Amino acid sequence: MPALPCPRAAAIASPLAEALETMPQPLALYDTGGDQVLANAAWRTLVDGADAQAGNAAVSACVAALAQACPGATKPSHMLLRLGCHEGVARWYKLTMARWPLAGGAQLLIHASLAEVDQEVGQCERLAHTVATYQRMANASADCIKVLTPQGVLQHMNSAGCQALNVAEAAAAGRRWLDLLPSAMHPAARRALARAAAGKTCRFSSVTQVQDIPCYWDNLLTPVTDARGKVISILCVSRDVTALRSVEQRLRDACQIDALTGLPNRNSFKMQLQRSLAHHRQGDPSIGLLLVDLDHFKHVNDTLGHVAGDQLLRSLARRLRACLPGDSYIARLDGDEFAIILPQLPHMDALLEAAARIQRQAELPILHRGRPINVGMSIGCTLYPRDARNASGLLRCAEVALSDIKTSGRGGVRMYNVHLMHNAARTAAQVIRARAIIREKSIEPFYQAKIRIDDRRIQGFEALLRWRDRRGQARLPRQVAEAFKNYELATHISDAMRERVFSDITAWRARGLLSVPISLNAAPVEFLRDDYAERLLQQMQTHGIPTDLIEIEITEHSLSERSAAFVERALRKLKQAGVRIALDDFGTGHSSFTNLRDYPVDFIKIDRDFIHRMHADAVIAAIVRALCQLGPALHMTIIAEGVETAAQLEMLRKKGCTIAQGFLFHHPQPADAIARLLLQDAAHNVATLPPAAAQRAY
């Protein structure tokens, strides 16, 4: 715009005024004192609307302030004004002011223009409100929130972050993040920053000290990218996980410490054993491992209660700690079983000496409510690297040694040797084989007759366990003998055996063949659940078998086992129901006729070893004669097992034995052969059996 010729409105050229009047943008001219010189129609409509006085005053004040503050300024100045208009709605406008030189340079006029920016200002206000809200949210968070440049310079940090790093909020921006961290954190933080700057989310853990108390942090760095995928900033969130770490530690302790004794538990023991073996170097002293099992601990719980059992375990744990070297490691594995790791053992004798010290702890009485608790120990021992090359192998060796001493009577110390592993492998193979014959339903009973010596009439049959292999060949029970030490396996085998026997009895009775009893063998372990009699009678009732057709044979060992009370109760219940009882293998255990009077026994079967030795051993012959004479006096029938020769039979006849069983009369045969034998017996009214080859099948 050209310079105006005069300073007042009267001097303003009419063409200029007319030009301003026609322009759509609100325009006005003011002098340096803030007085309006000229305003066009758009200005008047806007400013002189609903609140002309206030609008003009506001603009005049801005003009005067500009002229006073910057008298020599030539560049345009901008200000925001909120003006009311004729619609009665206040809006935001951008006031632009520029100086106009007058003719001769004596005075200046100020050119003012208004542009509505209400929408832009509203957007800015909303954005500012959003930013403030986010700021408040970030400050309300307990996490330390930081915004970094890709180079690691702080752009923003919330209150929690400033407090954690001990930085004033006003002084946070512009500082290097790494400079605020402990030096120990720098390597991990630098790697995480580099990965985040490369566009990858990453995290790392760190520890700081607050008044000598460790504070644990979890740091997560997330890259922030623009529309083109370029990393423009990095969001770093650091969370205080000290409380969580404390909870994790307590849970870890709970998972690794036995709550009752305070000793390490099985999980902790396995880790320690692996560490001990990993640190062992060639030429170092051996590492010893002992597994300790309390003998008959269940009896303590059953008789004195679990409180007494718990006190026993706690007391023994304290004693074990006290009697062993400080570098030993003691753990409670489960129930009444402990494990002990002894490093730096110069020789095997040192391990055995430690085992002896452990055993003596059980010999000292432990009092519970004034009453002593007595318990024994069985200990299995092994040495590394002599016996095994890894932790699992070493533990297996100790378990084998412990299992061997437990099965051989409990109490004492057993050192592992390779023969024990062979026995364990054989035991495992038998158990696997037993599970297979149960699963494949390959059990089949064979029957051997019991013969009255005087007339060779059949007096009954003993059902003997057999099983068929994959070639159909009958196998003997000794190949699964270990299964009869396991309650579950023994019970499943006996159930399957009785099912087959009862089915055979039912078939024979349907043909009118069977009138003599069938005897069934019962393993001692079958009585452990104290329900043997009930289960047998229920099975007989299901098949409709009369009780006078069934006899039960038990061994002498059944009467000396810890389940003897269960055995006696079952036998009395069976005897009351009409089932007769036979004591098998008599002479191999510790029974006596005095003890036998206390049991409901109907038959005594002399062990085959006595029969085979009575010709060559006068003492054995005297024992057999005494049995044959005392049996009737006790109302018990004597049966001789394993009779294989005519000379043995004749000697038994002279000694007064009435019933015999063995290969001399009859080999064990399957059910169809027995049916033919019973038919023959029925046809001739007597079964005279041909002698058989004297070979053992037991």
What are the tens digits of pLDDT across the range 532-585? 999 999 999 999 999 999 999 998 777 766 667 888 899 999 999 999 999 887
Residue partners of 544: CB distance under 8 A and separation at least 6? 506
218 and 300: one domain? no
Q: Which tens digits make up the pLDDT trace of 576-607?
A: 999 999 988 776 655 555 566 777 889 999 88
Q: Identify whether 196 is part of a domain.
A: yes
Tell me the two tokens of residue 649.
Answer: 């039979």
What pLDDT is stored for residue 504 in this prediction? 95
What pLDDT is stored for residue 116 in this prediction? 82
Alpha carbon dihedral 283, 284, 285, 289, in 10-degree steps, equals -110
pLDDT band at 53 (very low <50, low <70, confident <90, very high): low
118 and 165: one domain? no
- Which has the higher per-residue pLDDT, 682 or 182? 182
- Which has the higher per-residue pLDDT, 458 or 65? 458
361 and 391: one domain? yes
Domain with residue 572: its CATH number is 3.20.20.450
Residue 698 has pLDDT above 50, yes or no: no
What pLDDT is stored for residue 588 in this prediction? 63
Of the candidates 94, 122, 150, which is a domain's last residue?
122
Q: Which residues of 224-256 are buried (b: 16+ CB within 10 A; e: fewer)?
A: eeeeeeebebbbbbbbbebeebeeeeeeeeeeb
Alpha carbon of 418 to those of 159, 354, 382, 391: distances in Å?
69, 22, 11, 17
Q: In what order do the strands lie in the sheet with 337-345?
A: 329-334, 337-345, 286-295, 376-384, 412-415
What pLDDT is stored for residue 562 in this prediction? 60
- Which has the higher per-residue pLDDT, 127 or 635? 635
Radius of gyration of the chain (CA): 52
Q: Measured between alpha carbons, how far is 422 from 592 in angstroms, rounded to an integer? A: 36
335 and 299: one domain? yes
Domain with residue 45: its CATH number is 3.30.450.20
Alpha carbon of 142 to those of 128, 137, 170, 220, 238: distances in Å?
23, 10, 19, 15, 9
What pLDDT is stored for residue 560 in this prediction? 67
Tell which residue, 561, 563, 553, has the closest CA to residue 586: 553
What pLDDT is stored for residue 5 in this prediction? 40
Residue 271 has pLDDT above 50, yes or no: yes
Sign, CA dihedral 524-529-534-539, equals: negative
Q: Measured between alpha carbons, how far is 165 from 182 in angstroms, rounded to an integer? A: 10
Q: Identify whether 251 is part of a domain.
A: no
Q: Identify whether 657 is part of a domain.
A: yes
Q: Measured between alpha carbons, how far is 169 from 564 in angstroms, rounded to an integer? A: 83
411 and 450: one domain? no
Alpha carbon of 153 to those of 141, 195, 232, 402, 624: distances in Å?
22, 15, 12, 66, 103
Q: Identify whether 269 is part of a domain.
A: yes
Question: What is the average pLDDT across 601-621?
Answer: 90
- Which has the higher per-residue pLDDT, 78 or 318? 318
Q: Which range is least confidently modeled, 179-183, 200-204, 432-436, 657-661?
A: 179-183
What pLDDT is stored for residue 697 in this prediction? 31
Alpha carbon of 491 to those of 91, 136, 142, 407, 503: distances in Å?
96, 73, 63, 19, 18
Tell me if residue 420 falls in helix, strand or coil: helix
What pLDDT is stored for residue 359 in this prediction? 87
What pLDDT is stored for residue 246 in this prediction? 84
61 and 181: one domain? no
CB 446 within 8 A of CB 670: yes
DSSP state at residue 691? P
Question: How many domains is the chain partitioned into structurally?
Answer: 4
Q: What is the mean pLDDT of the chain?
A: 83
Tell me the two tokens of residue 187.
Answer: 């390597």
Residue 28 has pLDDT above 60, yes or no: yes
Label the pairing between strands 580-586 and 550-555: parallel
Q: What proportion of the chain, given as a percentage, has pLDDT over 90?
A: 33
DSSP state at residue 1? -
289 and 380: one domain? yes
290 burial via Cβ count (<10 Å: 0-12, 13-18, 19+): buried
Q: Which tens digits make up the pLDDT trace of 282-313?
A: 878 899 999 999 988 887 887 788 888 888 89
Domain with residue 288: its CATH number is 3.30.70.270
111 and 161: one domain? no
What pLDDT is stored for residue 20 in this prediction? 77
665 and 526: one domain? yes
What pLDDT is stored for residue 51 in this prediction? 59
Beta bridge partner(s), residue 90: 84
pLDDT band at 2 (very low <50, low <70, confident <90, very high): very low
Of the candidates 185, 211, 245, which is a domain's last residue?
245
Q: Identify whether 692 is part of a domain.
A: no
Tell which residue, 334, 333, 352, has the closest CA to residue 342: 352
Question: What is the average pLDDT across 185-189?
Answer: 91
Tell which residue, 168, 311, 185, has the closest CA to residue 238: 185
Q: Identify whether 255 is part of a domain.
A: no
Tell which residue, 351, 374, 345, 342, has the closest CA to residue 361: 374
What pLDDT is stored for residue 171 in this prediction? 76
pLDDT band at 146 (very low <50, low <70, confident <90, very high): confident
Beta bridge partner(s), residue 383: 288
Residue 133 has pLDDT above 50, yes or no: yes
Q: Identify whether 461 is part of a domain.
A: yes
pLDDT band at 87 (very low <50, low <70, confident <90, very high): low
Tell me the two tokens of residue 103.
Answer: 């003719």
376 and 451: one domain? no
Tell me the two tokens of residue 475.
Answer: 């196998």
Of the candidates 400, 416, 432, which is a domain's last residue?
416
- Distance, first Cα to last Cα, the chain: 132
Label the pairing between strands 637-641 and 659-661: parallel
What pLDDT is stored for residue 653 in this prediction? 92
Beta bridge partner(s), residue 632: none
Q: Identify whether 402 is part of a domain.
A: yes
pLDDT band at 439 (very low <50, low <70, confident <90, very high): very high
276 and 155: one domain? no
What pLDDT is stored for residue 95 in this prediction? 83
Residue 424 has pLDDT above 60, yes or no: yes
DSSP letter for each residue of 450-501:
EEETTT--EEEEEEEEEEE-TTS-EE-GGGGGGGGGSHHHHHHHHHHHHHHH
Domain extent, residue 207, equals: 141-245
Q: Which range is least confidently modeled, 85-94, 194-203, 249-258, 578-587?
A: 85-94
Q: Measured between alpha carbons, how far is 222 from 686 in angstroms, rounded to an integer? A: 99
For 281, phi and psi rounded to 5 degrees? -115, 155
Q: What proportion of the chain, given as a percentage, has pLDDT over 70?
A: 88
680 and 538: one domain? yes
